A and B are shown apart, each in its own frame.
Chain A
Amino acid sequence: MADRADYREGTDAQQLVILLPECLKDASKKMKTGLMFVKLVNPCSGEGALYLFNMCLQQLFEIKIFKEKHHSWFINQSVQSGGLLYFATPMDPLFLLLHYFIKADKEGKFQPLDQVVVDDMFPNCVLLLKLPELEKLLQHVTEEKGVYYIHTWPDLLLHFVSEGFVVPRFYQSSPLKTFPDAELGRKIDKKKYYKYSKEKTLKWLGKKVNQTMAALKTNNINVGARVQSNAFFSSHQISSDKEENYICYAHGLVSDYIPKELNDDLSKYLKLPEPLASLPKPPSKDALLCQLCSWGSFFGCEFLNLSLS
C-alpha cells in the first residue's frame, strides 16, 4: 500500500484527529463497549450533528470540528488531508431535550418523556432517555405532573392520581377522590408528565449565559475584538460597555444550542441592546468551530453549511 504509484487510489486509512476528555481514558478500564458516535439533532438548526455517548458512565459529548482553509496533517508516517481537529466536549443533554419539548409543545399538553423524545430522522434520540437524573434536569424547562397508576379496583380500572386527586380513566362518572399517602404507597407505576415552560426555560438560559460570562472572564477571552473593529462603536463605548460585550458574547455562545425563536425571546429577556444583538455572532464559533452537520468527511459525507473564514 505504502508504495502504491497512483496516489489517487490511496484513499486508505482515513484518520481522524480528535481531542477527548481524559475521563474517557480512565473510564475505558471498566468498559468493553458503550462508547459510540451517533447522529442526533442539532438543537439550533434542527439538522444532524455528531455526538459521542458513554453508555457506561451515561455521559453525552458534543463533537465540534476545527477547520481552517489550506491545512493538512502529518500523522507519523502518513499524510491526512483537511487538517481537521475534532473536539469531544461534555454536552448538557437538556439542550437536546428542550428541542423535543418545544416541538411537542404545539400539542399543548402534558406528556410522558418517552412520548416527547421521538424522532424518525434521528432514532438514536432514545439514547437520551438513558442519561441519569433526567427528571431533575427537566425541572429547569418544564412544568410537571406526577401521575400514579393505582390498582384500586379490578385491574382494568386503572386510575390516574395526580398530585392528590384522582382522574378516572375509564369512566367519567367516578367521583374525584383524594388518596391518603398509604394508598399512594400501593402504586404500581409512577409516571411523570411534562409540558414545556418558556418562562422557566428563559430563566434557565439566563443562568447559562451568566456562567458562560464568568468563564469568558476567567479564561481571558477577548470579547471586545469584534466590537472594536465595528464602526458602530466609539472607543468610549468599548471601555464603558465591557460588561455588555461579555453578555453578548456569552449569549452568542448559548444561542448556538437553542432554536431561533427562543433566541429572540432570550435576547429580550436578557435585555440585550438592539444594535449589539443584531451584530454577527462571536467569531469563536463562526470562524473556528463548526458542528458536524452530517457524518462528516471522515464518516463518508461532505460537510454541510461549512462556512469558515
Chain B
Amino acid sequence: MESRDEEDVEKRRVHLRPDTLRSATPATLHLLPCGIPVNRPAPVGNFFTPAIRQGPEGLEVSFRGRSLRGEEVEVPPGLVGYVMEMEEKEEVLVGKQDFQQGSDNDEHEPELLEPPEAALERDFDRVIRASGSFSHFTVWGLETVPGPDAKVRAALTWPSLAAAIHAQVPGD
C-alpha cells in the first residue's frame, strides 16, 4: 500500500455537484427533541405541520402525545442551509456501508465483497447533491421553548468564531 495511484486517491473523494447549490428547492426543517431511529419518508404534512399553533410562548404542537414548544431559528448571516443526499448510484450500497463501520482502510473492503474492478467503478467519483435549501428552521423543545440557551443556538455562533480562528494573521 506504499504507492497509491491517482484512482485510489479519487476513491476517497465525494464530489458535490455545484449546480445543485443553485437549483435546490426550499425545504422545511424541524429539529425535534427526540430520537427517531429511522431515515424514511414520513407524512409530516398530514400529521405534524397542520397541528402547529401559535401559542403565547411560541409555536405549539404535539408529537406522539407529548407537547412540544418551538421557535424559528435563522441560519447565521453569510451561510446557506442545505439538505444533501448521495446520488442514486450510491444509495444501493447499504450493505457496503455497514461493512465500513469503524474502519479507515476502505481500500481493503471492496476486494472482500466483490471483484476489485466492480468496486472501483462503484466507489469512484461518488457524487452528492443538494436537494433542498433553507434559511431558517424550527427548533422544538419538550414542553418548553428551547430558548436562548439552546445548545443549537450556541453551535450557530461557531461560524463567526471559526472565521476569527482561521483568518490569516498579519505578517511582521
Contact = CB atoms under 8 A, between A and B. Distances in A.
Interface residues of A, number: 91
Given A70-B35, A74-B30, 18 more contacts: A1-B41, A13-B39, A14-B85, A14-B91, A16-B128, A19-B75, A28-B18, A69-B35, A72-B32, A74-B32, A81-B36, A87-B155, A90-B163, A120-B1, A140-B171, A211-B165, A215-B164, A301-B102
Interface of A: 1-2, 4, 7-8, 10-22, 24-25, 27-29, 31-39, 48, 52, 62, 64, 66, 68-83, 85, 87, 89-92, 120-121, 123-124, 126, 137, 139-140, 204, 207-208, 211-212, 214-216, 219, 221, 253-254, 257, 284, 287-289, 294-295, 299-302, 304
A139 B172 CA distance: 10
B158 to A, nearest CB: 6
Nearest to A2: B41
Q: Does more than half of chain A's interface fall in helix, strand or loop, or is it mixed? A: mixed
Interface of B: 1-2, 4, 8-9, 12-19, 21-22, 27-45, 48, 75-76, 78-86, 91, 93-94, 96-98, 100-104, 128, 131-132, 151-152, 154-155, 157-171
Contacts of B40: 4, 7, 10-13, 78-79
Contacts of A68: 151-152
Contacts of A16: 83-85, 128
Contacts of A31: 18
A74 B29 contact: yes
A288 B153 CA distance: 10
A77 B132 CA distance: 12
Contacts of A299: 14, 97
Given A22-B79, A79-B40, A212 B32 contact: no
Contacts of B91: 12-14
Contacts of A11: 39-40, 94
A71 B166 contact: no
